Each structure stands twice: as structure tokens, then as C-alpha cells.
Structure 1
Amino acid sequence: MQEFIAHAPCGAVRGSEDGGVIAWRGIPYAQPPARFSPPMPMQPWSGVRDALEFGPSCPQEDVKRAPMAEDCLYLNIWSPGTAGKRPVMFFIHGGSFAGGSGSEEAYNGANLARNGDVVVVTFNYRVGILGFLDFSFIHDDFHANCGLFDVLEALRWVKANIAAFGGDLDNITVFGQSAGGTITSVLPVLPAARGLFSKCIVMSGGPTLLQGCREGHRTARSFLESAGVRDARGLRSIPAEEIPAFQREFVAHCGLGAGTFRISVDGALVPDYPIAAARTGIAKGIPMLIGTTREEMSFLLIKPLAKALDVDGIMQAGVEHEEDECKERIPLAYRQRYGKRRGQAMMFSDMVFRMGNIWYVQEYGRHCDVWMYRFDYETPAMKVSGLHAFHSSDIPFVFGNFKAGMGKLIFLLSPSMKKVRELSQEMQRDFVSFARTGRAAWPQCRNGDIPAKCYGKRCSVSPAVEEQIVRQYENTHFKKTSFMSSKEE
């Protein structure tokens, strides 16, 4: 077997061929972490370390991601070669901050690295109880946002070592989807992340989906009650293999669903909410590309899912602080524009993702270059199911993996893959071009304008959200709180 050895400051690592590029899997970027504490840098090793298998994922509910272990801080690299200085694309996986792994088949970076002549990095970070519950009130060694600390440590490792894998340490683009998109939206306004990357691509992330310190503590105390744990010793004594069961029971107990685990604005690592922070110009010099799928929340149209998620309850909670006139006007605007059934899904998509993105863009764009996109494409299976361009349906197109993850389902009824491959190539070209140059080929967002490249059967440029819909959110409590600083809480 041909050997592919990279000689990096961390130590020598042996990779293998994968889809026409070299892959290094399971490289430790930090020491095995102490529970609820920030990671410690990995010490260099001697000799040649095999990087042929993925490292364990963080303990979580999905047993398909076995093996799992608290010693989960590993990354993976795909590169066309060790010589040269290629743009680096550092991907942060999603999973509602409760699950996910950089080793998922859908995130295999071979196609993107080969087609774009870039270096692709994926990695694991702590999720769920271990990564995004704030127990700092129990013990001085415990911190909020441990999963976010992991992301920063992975970026530091990449900055220090990626040149040995053919990457340009001065041209690192962070891109992330869903929870990873939310993390990506936070990084440019994070003082601790300054200098670790130069550009970012936010895919279906929510810059308004963070929580305050007090809310984070309430959720953590709720976990203590659910688990029957009283102190730091009790938290440390939970066996790692039992964490997924504790997590499942807690999510059912607390009633927060996908919002159970979130980044906390703790006043330390995360000083403020992204929109308020962007207003200060802290992200200056970091171009951003940000977008969503068209019908992010269309799974709410599927009755069993909608029932399981208590859609009516979620909606009531989302608008409880609004005036009665607003509660009637906004849903009516969506019904009139999209019809009753689809209008509800579009309204949720805007409330959870797009409106927050637009308000972020308007503040971020005062100091930085920013572009928007929207993924509109529907395969026959997406149409028949009624899901349309739903959350995560763009992942196969960005990575070019059509038989993994979501691709196993959405291409089932496609008689030809020609258009799919063409659109995938166009998205990859656009993302790679942005990673290489920090610019996109369509109009950027300026002075409140929100043009977005819409990836459909025919690509076009249109407002990310129609003006008449955007107007509905003016003077709402939702908008006011989205612009709020942590100092105003």
C-alpha cells in the first residue's frame, strides 16, 4: 500500500488514498478532555502515527455513530497533496448541539477537496450534556460552552499544522451547517477566535438562537433534578456509556426539544449576542456568506412530526409577547402568500432561521462584506413528500456525496442525476471561490438590501425574503429582542 505521510509540528501522520485525494482520519487535536472543562492542547508525538480510522464520537443518542467516548476530540483531513498552499475549508457539523460527528459519511471531504483543489477538515466536538450545559455555578473547574472551546482548539491545531497537509494557514474558511452554522455565525464576533480564520460560510445557522447565562443555568439545574445529581462529584461520576440515556430522559423531561442545548452568552468566552456584537464592528475584515434552504422547517407539514414537536405550543411560545394584532397579521400574510399548509412551514423557517440571518446581515454588513444565498432545488422525492427544499437537503450538493446521509432518500425518484451533479458543481464552485478569494459573484448585501443567489433548476438572484414579508416583522417584540445586548437582559 502506498504511504502518505505528512510531517507536521504535531508529529508525523500516515494517511491513505480516498477518492483521488489523501485522507488522514482520527488525528487527535487535543488531549482527552476533563469533563465540563476546556480542552488542553495536544502534545507532539514521536514516530509516525496512523491516521487511517475515524476517532470516537462524543457520547450521544444515535448508536449508529459508535464507537463513542469522552475522548472524542479528533479531526479528519482530505487534501489533494502535501505540497502547495491551498485554501482550507474547516467544516463544523450540525446536530442540534445534541449529536453529530465529523466522521459522518455525508461529510466525507474527498469530492469537495478534489473538485475544488482545497483542503477540507472535519472534526468532532463535545455535544449535548458534555458540550452545551452550563454547570459553572457548581464548580470553578466547570465552564459553559465546552463544545465551543473544542471548536477553538481545533482551529488552533489547524492553524499550527495544516501547512504540512498542503493547506494555507493564512486562508482558512470556517463553514458549518445547522448547529454548526450557528457556531459559525458566532465565531467572527468572538474575541477568542480572532486570527484563527479569515472567512466564514453560515449554512442554516441561527445567530439569534443563543441563550443568556440565567437561562443556561436554569436548564442545567433542570438536568440535575432530572438526573438526581446534587454536586460536581455526582456529575463526574455518571458513566460515559450512560450519558446518552441520561440525555434522552432529560430532553423528554425539560420540554425544550431541539432547543435544549445551546451556546450560552456567558460574559466570558461569549461576551454578547452576535447581532449586538456585530454592531460594534468586531468582525471587520472577515467576509461572510450566509444562507438557508427555502423551506427549512417544512418537516412540520408532516403530521406525526408536527404532533411530536407540539407545533401549536411552539408557535404560542414564540409569539406570546407580541400584540394581538401582530399574532393575527403575520400568519395571515404567510397564508395569503403561500397558502395555509405551506405558509406555516415558511413562517417557521423565517422565524427560526431567515429573519435572524437578515438582521445579522444588516448589522454585519455595516463593517464587513457579506453575501447571501438560498437553496431552492427540489428533487422529485422532495416534491412528492411535501418536504420541498428542507433543512439539511443542501448537504449532499455541497459535499458532492449523493449516496450518503440525506442523499439516500432525496435522490430515490430521480430518473437522471445530470441536473443534480451540475447544481452540486455550481455550489461547490461558489463556495470554493468564496473560500479562495473572500468574494462571491453576485451582488453583496448593502444598505438593507438582501439579494441572495437562489440555487434552483435555474439559478437566479432574488431577495432572501420577500419585502412584504420582511415588513411584517418591523416593530415586533421578536425583532427587538433579536437586537438586544446581554447588557440589556
Structure 2
Amino acid sequence: MKTKNGTIAGLKEGDILSYRGVPYAKPPVGSLRFMPAQKAESWEGVLDASSFGAACPQTKKYRSSSEDCLTLNIWTPGTDQKERPVFFYIHGGSFCAGTGSDPEYNGTNLAKNGDVVVVTINYRLGALGFLDFSFLGEEFSPNCGLSDIVMALSWVHENIAAFGGDPHNITVLGQSAGAIAASVLPVMPAARKYVSKVIMMSGGPSLLYTKAQYQEVARKFLKFMGIKSARELKAMDVRTLVAKQRKFASHCGLGDGTFMIEVDGGLVPEYPIPAAAQGAARDIPILIGTTKEEMSFLCIKVLSKVLDISKILRRNIDQEKEEVKARLKAAYRRYGKRAESMMLTDRVFRMASVWYAEVYNQYANTWMYRFDYETPAMKAVALRACHSCDIPFVFGNYHAGHYKWMFLLPSIKTTRRVSREIQQDFVSFAKGEKLGWQECCGIDTPAKCYDKYFSVIPMVDPEIEKEYDKSEFKRQSLRGLNAVHIG
């Protein structure tokens, strides 16, 4: 297979061809360590694309990790001239963990079932990808990890036709941190030219930092690590640099909100919600979804520290006036013991997504969905439809990676039916078809609900949504201020 950089050889697995570990940018090493992604150089001969590239450095253990990690993976039904829709997937992991080669993101089933091309990527993580050390000098740049994503998009736009994909029909699909990135791309001048459509799975479009806020976090990181100069930071062994990232996240009180995209005035000129309100994402359709109870792990003691975010959100809630706090608390009483979980689900994921949809639909087709389905195993542990539980249904990988436990009890018939439904809707959206439920219009935000049975419901309970109208959270989100308070 010929690309603009050279020839590659992949694998044939049944009806699907796969190409793994394909470099889309120069290795970000040496003088490029804290700089924006640079175009990949060409190579001689045939590049072996039969195995995945190294994971980007992180505290999570992988068989192979390296700073030379900017690679992507492609699954395609064929390399003929058919112009198939392209899914460009951005993995989650709080911008500090994960890789495009994680087994739960294997694109084989989605590519086969939808007759689409699936691309997954690696991008720089943690301090290497998202802290802003630019106050140390010109050899440091903010949003390096985001620049990687844009460079990967550019590579796909230039090369995907050779893999049977349509370069003018790229749907950016992101989950969690990947969905935050997906919310930013259509309003970014450097990226929107590559983006045809966007699907956000459980992302918070208000969860970005200002430059001043994020440089303060970077300064705290340097102090925590005992790094006293730019030279020392650039020369530090990568294993030492990333080894204490989790400890730093706990130390600074930001938990899984420590590493994030910055509104830097350059690559990212504005927060997504106010940018969309000004028409920055004009004519780029979007599908925005969340699970029913993203934060349900808070109800289970042993899992309550999986995402270290509840402390931040409680601090965020404390910013509200007493009258607003009292009304919100009363509104969530209907959920009983799960009241805090549901409130935090709305404050982290759902409310900002609704406000994004409300401004976005003025300029582009906008749909919403909710994933409420719980497998028997999920019900057995009372976890509910939690954060990330829709991933195996979208990719059709029921026994891969972190999600095997969800399918330990018999449920295969219903599982396949729900998976088929959400896959079909995602593929229809990618093909540019009208989805089978009402679009968002003004402040009306209906959502398709994926459950044992499918229905259309309000994205947020209208009584609860009303209580946010006069909240500080809504005011900050619409103005483009950081919704997570840094103390």
C-alpha cells in the first residue's frame, strides 16, 4: 500500500485489512520533546505495519512504550476505489493514559459491520502532551498532544483514499478525554478543514483551562518534581518524568482533571461553547452522547477512586449561591442514594453537553443520545450504565480489555441487538444520513435512549435542567470560563 510517505505492508484478517503502527509525525524526541507535532519523514523500502507501535509514555504499564509513539492504526474492508466513510477515533484516559492499540478499540468489527474505515491513534499524554511550560522559553509549546491529533487528522486526510476511505468524509469519534478533544476540533481553524462530522461520547466541552490557570499547574508540577530549569526538564529521563504523574495529580488536588486542553489563544483560540455560539463549527454535524450515570462508581466504595474527580466537583458545587445549591439538592432527591452520582454526572458531562448542543444546532445538524443499557453483570454489582460502558457496544468488542466483566453473565442476544442499533446509527450519521429521531432545535434537546428497548427522551430531566438556569456553572460554561475550579 502506497502512502505519501512510502509503502507499507499490513495484515489480512478475514474480510478486513489492518495496518498498524503507521507513523504520522516525526518522533517527538530531543528538541521536539515539548514542541508541536511535525510531519512524518518519508522512508525507503516497505514499512512493516503488521504490529502496533509503542504506547506513549505513561504510568499505565504496556509491553512497549516510547517517546517515539506517534503512530496510527487502520482497519478497512478493502483498498479498492470505493469511498467509504472514515471513523477517526480518539481514545480517552484523562489525557494521561491509554493508546489507540488497546484491544477494546480494535476496529475489525466496526469496519466489517458498517463497511467503513476505522482509524485509531496515539497522541502524547500527561506532562509530555498537555502541561504548558511555555513560560520557560520558545522551545516549549502548549497543547502538544492536541497538535498530535491535528497532525494525525492531516495525515488521514492526505492518505486515507489509498485505504478505501473518503478523505472528505472523516467523522471524528472521541470518548471521554477523546470527546473533549472532539468537541474542540470543529471550532479550531487548524483542524476544522479535516473534520466532516463529530461524535462525542461522554465528553465535557467546558473542561478546558485558561493559559494562566494551566501555567500555574505546570509550575506546581516543576516544584513537585524538583525541576529547577528548562534544561533539566528537557534532559530528564522519560520514565522519571511520567512516573509520578498520578501522585502529582493527587497532590495538586485536580485528580483526573490535571492534564487537559488549554485555551492558548493560538491552536485553541476559544472555549468550544462560546466558539460554537459564534458559528465556528458551521456546517459540521455533531452527535453528542453520555451514559445514564457516568459517575455511578461513586456509589461503590471499592471503585470510588477509579476517577479521582469527586473532590473537584464538590468544590465546584460550592461556588454556587446557597439558594441554587438548595434547589439543586432538592431536585436530585428523587434519585435517593444515587443523588450525588447523578448530580456529578450532570455537572461533569451532561449539562455542558446540552448547552453545547443548544448553541451548536443554530449552525449545524445536531443530535443527542443517552446510553442507559445495563448488562446483567452491571446490574449485579449495582454499577448502572457507567462511564465508558458504551465503548464495547460501539466497537462490537464484548470480551476485550477493561470491559470483559460487563459480559460475564448471559446477555448476548440483547447485547448484540443494542450494539447493532448504536453501530447502525453511528454509521448512518457518518454517511450523512438523517438520524431517526428529532434533531436538537434551540433549547429542545431530545435524545435517543439505548436501553433494552429504544426510545426518545429529554437528554436531561426538564425539572433538573430548569434548576441550572441561574447557576454559576451555566454562566461560566456559556462564557467560556473553566468549569473546574483550581484551588
TM range (shorter): over 0.9
Q: Which residue of 2 aligns with 1:430?
A: 425
Mapped to 2, the partners of 1:41 and 1:417 lie a distance apart of 44
1:28 counterpart residue number: 23
> Deviation at 1:19?
4.7
1:246 aligned residue: 244
Q: Kindly report which structure 2 residues correspond to 1:311-322, keeping only aligned pairs within 5 A, or say none.
A: 313-322=311-320
- Structure-1 separation of matches of 2:109 and 2:307: 36
Q: Structure 1: which 5+ residue stretches go unaligned?
A: 1-5
The correspondence for 1:446, drawn from 433, 441, 457, is 441
Contact in 2 for aligned 1:275/1:483 (Cα 8 Å): yes
| Conserved 8 A contact 2:255-2:308 | no
1:334 aligned to 2:329?
no
Q: Does 1:404 align with 2:406?
A: no
Q: Distance in 2 between matches of 1:155 and 1:308?
A: 31
1:335-374 superposed matches below 5 A: 335=333, 337-339=334-336, 341-374=337-370
Which residue identity does 2:347 align to in structure 1? M
Q: Confirm or deny: 8 A CA contact 2:359 2:442 kept in the other structure.
A: no
Contact 1:198-1:286 within 8 A present in 2 as well: yes
- In structure 2, relative to structure 1, the CA distance for the partners of 1:312 and 1:397 (3 Å cut) is closer
For residue 10 of structure 1, report the CA deviation from its aligned partner. 2.0
Structure 2 CA distance for partners of 1:429 and 1:28, relative to 1, 3 Å: same
Q: Deviations over 1:149-178 (max 9, x none)?
A: 000000000001111111111111100000
CA distance in 2, matches of 1:243, 1:313: 26
Q: Which stretch has the larger CA shift, 349-358 or 248-257?
A: 248-257
CA distance in 2, matches of 1:157, 1:308: 34
**1:310 to partner: Cα distance:** 7.5
Q: What letter matches 2:335 in structure 1?
A: Y
Residue equivalent to 1:105: 103
% identity of equivalent residues = 53
In 1, the alpha carbon distance for the partners of 2:291 and 2:393 equals 12
Structure 2 spans left out of the alignment, 5+ residues: none
**Greater mean deviation of Cα atoms: 297-306 or 195-204:** 297-306
- Equivalent positions of 1:373-388 (< 5 A) are 373-388=369-384
Q: Per-residue displacement from partner, 1:422-469 (whole Å, max 9, x unpaired)?
A: 111111110011001153221100021111000000000111111001
Which stretch has the larger CA shift, 313-322 or 401-410? 313-322
Instruction: State the 1:304 CA deviation.
Output: 3.8
How do residues 41-440 of structure 1 correspond to structure 2 at under 5 angstroms?
41-63=39-61, 65-83=62-80, 84-306=82-304, 313-335=311-333, 337-339=334-336, 341-413=337-409, 415-437=410-432, 439-440=434-435
- The CA deviation at 1:393 is 0.4
3-state SS of 1:88 partner: strand
Mark the CA change 1:309 to 1:458 in structure 2 (over 3 Å): closer, same or farther.
closer
Q: Does 1:463 align with 2:458?
A: yes
Quick one: distance in 2 between partners of 1:173 and 1:324?
43
**Contact 1:287–1:438 (Cα < 8 Å) also in 2:** no
**SS of 1:125's equivalent?**
coil
RMSD: 1.6
- Hey, what's the Cα distance between the residues in 1 that align with 2:312 and 2:300? 16
TM-score, L = length of structure 1: 0.95
String of CA shifts for 1:101-137, please: whole Å, max 9, x gaps: 0000000000000000000000100011101100011
Further displaced range: 304-313 or 187-196: 304-313
How far is the alpha carbon of 1:248 from its aligned partner?
Answer: 2.8
**1:31-84 CA deviation, whole Å, 9 max, x = no partner?**
101111011101222321110110011110111x23111111000000001002
> Given residue 447 of structure 2, which amino acid in structure 1 is its aligned partner?
A
Contact 1:12 1:47 in 2 (8 A): yes
One-letter amino acid of the counterpart of residue 142, structure 2: A
Residues 399 and 49 of structure 1: CA distance in aligned 2, closer, same or farther (over 3 Å):
same
Give the TM-score normalised by the residue count of structure 2.
0.96
